């Protein structure tokens, strides 16, 4: 699969570039990441923290989509957008890895260890900061 295939299949739609929506999503992204930092990390909170961190990253990527004239209807499409449209292959790989972890905990009841959440709490803000340069 690739970006064009997802576009043809309707998983991505071309839309009018929307700076207002993008700014709103960027603000929401920051709030999600900031909120994750307010929650004490332990066995009971690690999934919630990870979800907030991932949500912050996803929202930031959605914002970039609107700046480029795209709306995504699944998270995998964001991976292709990062890799093929904004030429951030390494970030695309990281996003896809985080997406799979999130899907595992959300849809398959997989466990999450504290180290993974600690790593994500460092990695996701760095990814967003790098994306801010676009």
Question: Mean pLDDT, 10 residues at a time, over the chain (134 residues)?
Answer: 96 98 98 98 97 98 98 98 98 98 96 97 98 93
Residue 106: CA count within 13 A, CB half-sphere: 13
Q: Give the pLDDT confidence score for residue 110 in this predicted structure.
A: 96
pLDDT of residue 98: 98
pTM here is 0.96
pLDDT at position 134 is 86
* pLDDT value of position 10: 98
Q: Which burial class, exposed, middle or buried, applies to 89 when counting CB atoms under 10 A from its CB (0-12, 13-18, 19+)? A: exposed
Q: Which domains does the chain have, with CATH numbers?
A: 3-131 (1.20.120)
């Amino acid at each position: 699969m690739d970006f064009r295939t997802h576009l043809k299949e309707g998983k991505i739609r071309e839309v009018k570039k929307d700076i207002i929506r993008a700014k709103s999503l960027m603000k929401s992204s920051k709030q999600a990441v900031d909120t994750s930092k307010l929650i004490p990390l332990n066995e009971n909170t690690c999934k919630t923290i990870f979800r907030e961190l991932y949500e912050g990253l996803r929202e930031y990527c959605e914002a970039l989509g609107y700046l480029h004239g795209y709306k995504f209807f699944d998270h995998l499409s964001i991976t292709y957008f990062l890799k093929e449209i904004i030429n951030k292959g390494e970030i695309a790989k990281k996003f896809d890895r985080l997406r799979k972890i999130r899907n595992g905990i959300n849809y398959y009841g997989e466990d999450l260890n504290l180290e993974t959440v600690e790593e994500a709490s460092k990695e996701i803000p760095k990814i967003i900061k790098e994306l801010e340069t676009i």
